[in-house]
Amino acid sequence: MEPLDVVVVGGCGHVGLPLALSLAESGYRVGIDDIDTAKIEQVRSGSVPFLENGAEELLRKLLPTGRLQLAADPGMLQRTSIVILVIGTPIDEFMNPSVRIFDRVVDDLIPHLRDGSLVVLRSTVYPSTTESVERRLRAAGIDAEVVFCPERIAEGHALEEIRSLPQLVGASTDSAFEKTSKLFERLGVKVVRTTPMEAELAKLLTNTWRYMKFAIANQFFQIVHRSGLDYNRVLDAIRNDYPRAADLPGPGFAAGPCLLKDTMQLSAFTPDHFPMGQAAMQINEGLPNYIVDTLNSRRPLSGRTIGILGMAFKGESDDPRASLSYKLRKLAAFKGARVLCTDPYIHDESFLPLDRVLKEAELLVIAAPHHAYRKLDLKDRDVVDVWGITGPIRL
């Protein structure tokens, strides 16, 4: 078997595949190892399993070159000295980091790693994980260096951002830093050196800061709305030609596979459990409750038909992971409403076409700000739109 320059483990997902494509485009021979055989076959056939701008065109361009090789086989690691591990750390039902999956994957890879390998951890991990993985490898007799290089992309814009955003390299030795810098050199990005734990915390702090900004926006909205005022007028007054408030977001669902998870990992890491992060979680996770309670107090939802437009966690995405639209659906159903759901990007047998939801629902909730909903004529409809994509923010 021909040698590979790098193997991406977990390479068919939202983080791994764009990186593998970018590395292959820059000339590397890239192996993609993933346990999801269906996704392996889908990618091998030239189809990307999720929405990502430009990814499918790039994939079809690269497949004939032979610079991409795919397999559901960790044995592929024996053909390279550089392994990129795209396995994150989820949180459990107690909002604590769950490292069992990560540890199991590392144990499965150990028999296939070469001495002298460079292992690059790519997904967000709990602080000190990089050091722990290196100790684990050495205890197993593998002489390998481990670095943490967090992904910093936004889903849908990965190919662009991989080649434009600075790359953090959390390395504990000069040799590990030099090897990693050389790997990312062809992508043409600035490299910023840190220690492994500095990089781990930088990633968590970045996502937590974003999550907290959304929380204050949602809290501001609820304060003004409870006062019986029009939040659009207040928000416009705040932002109007006032640069120090230009970065205040509007309200909306703060969800997805990263922001809550990373905030809770930071909470678990700190002795005081990060009360500001906990408060942000309560505000953001509580927005669906606020919407449902407000609607139910205005007029009981029992027996009414509600249409939820958008089940992805954000606009122009087909990713339903940790989407608060599902929480909204559950809460409305608890109040006795008949709930109809639709989304132009997510295939779910329980979802209905948009035109049917518009026809049958007496109350509409814009839950994901897809561009398609901006074009709808909803002037005479009872609509909840805290995003403000169909006009003024309204609840």
Tokens of 244: 């120090």
- Do 234 and 89 lie in one domain? The reply is no
Count CB neighbours of 69 within 10 A. 19
- Do 49 and 158 lie in one domain? The reply is yes
Q: What percent of the chain has pLDDT over 70?
A: 100
- Do 92 and 227 lie in one domain? The reply is no
Which residue blocks in the chain are alpha helix, DSSP H?
Answer: 16-25, 37-44, 55-62, 100-109, 129-139, 158-162, 174-185, 196-226, 231-239, 259-269, 275-298, 324-334, 354-360
At residue 101, the pLDDT reads: 83
> Per the domain annotation, does 189 fall within a domain?
yes
In this predicted model, what pLDDT tens digit does every residue of 104-146 receive, in sequence order? 889 999 999 999 999 999 999 999 999 999 999 999 999 999 9
At residue 96, the pLDDT reads: 85
At residue 264, the pLDDT reads: 96
pLDDT band at 281 (very low <50, low <70, confident <90, very high): very high
Query: Hey, is 321 helix, strand or coil?
Result: coil
Across residues 13-22, what is the average pLDDT? Answer: 97
Q: How many residues does the chain have?
A: 395
Contact (CB, 8 A) for 366 and 309: yes
Q: Measured at the alpha carbon of residue 338, what is the angle toward residues 334 and 340, in degrees to the nearest 5?
A: 115
- Do 63 and 178 lie in one domain? The reply is yes
**Does residue 361 register a pLDDT over 80?**
yes
Across residues 28-40, what is the average pLDDT? Answer: 97
- Do 152 and 231 lie in one domain? The reply is no
Token pair 């392994």 is at which residue?
Answer: 83
- Do 134 and 283 lie in one domain? The reply is no
What phi and psi values does residue 32 have, to the nearest 5 degrees?
-115, 115
Across residues 277-299, what is the average pLDDT? Answer: 98
At residue 394, the pLDDT reads: 95
- Do 139 and 27 lie in one domain? The reply is yes
At residue 1, the pLDDT reads: 77
- Do 265 and 283 lie in one domain? The reply is yes
At residue 17, the pLDDT reads: 98
> Per the domain annotation, does 37 fall within a domain?
yes
249: CATH: 3.40.50.720
Token pair 């076409």 is at which residue?
Answer: 353
> Per the domain annotation, does 120 fall within a domain?
yes
**Does residue 91 register a pLDDT over 90?**
no
Domain end (from 143, 171, 194): 194
Domain end (from 194, 219, 247): 194
> Per the domain annotation, does 394 fall within a domain?
no
Tokens of 259: 């922001």
- 253 against 88, higher pLDDT: 253
In this predicted model, what pLDDT tens digit does every residue of 175-216 receive, in sequence order? 999 999 999 999 999 999 999 999 999 999 999 999 999 999
* pTM confidence score: 0.95
pLDDT band at 29 (very low <50, low <70, confident <90, very high): very high
* Residue 149 Ramachandran class (φ > 0 left, ψ -120 to 50 alpha, else beta): beta
Contact (CB, 8 A) for 201 and 127: yes
- Do 271 and 332 lie in one domain? The reply is yes
Domain end (from 194, 214, 243): 194
> Per the domain annotation, does 308 fall within a domain?
yes
In this predicted model, what pLDDT tens digit does every residue of 226-267 receive, in sequence order? 999 999 999 999 999 999 999 999 999 999 999 999 999 999
> Per the domain annotation, does 111 fall within a domain?
yes
> What range defines the domain where residue 132 resides?
6-194
Contact (CB, 8 A) for 41 and 16: no
* Residue 118 Ramachandran class (φ > 0 left, ψ -120 to 50 alpha, else beta): beta
Across residues 351-361, what is the average pLDDT? Answer: 98
The type of residue at 305 is T
Tokens of 156: 């849908």
- Average of per-residue pLDDT values in the chain: 96
- Do 173 and 295 lie in one domain? The reply is no
- Do 316 and 238 lie in one domain? The reply is yes
- Do 297 and 229 lie in one domain? The reply is yes
> Per the domain annotation, does 339 fall within a domain?
yes
> Per the domain annotation, does 145 fall within a domain?
yes
**How many domains does the chain contain in total?**
2
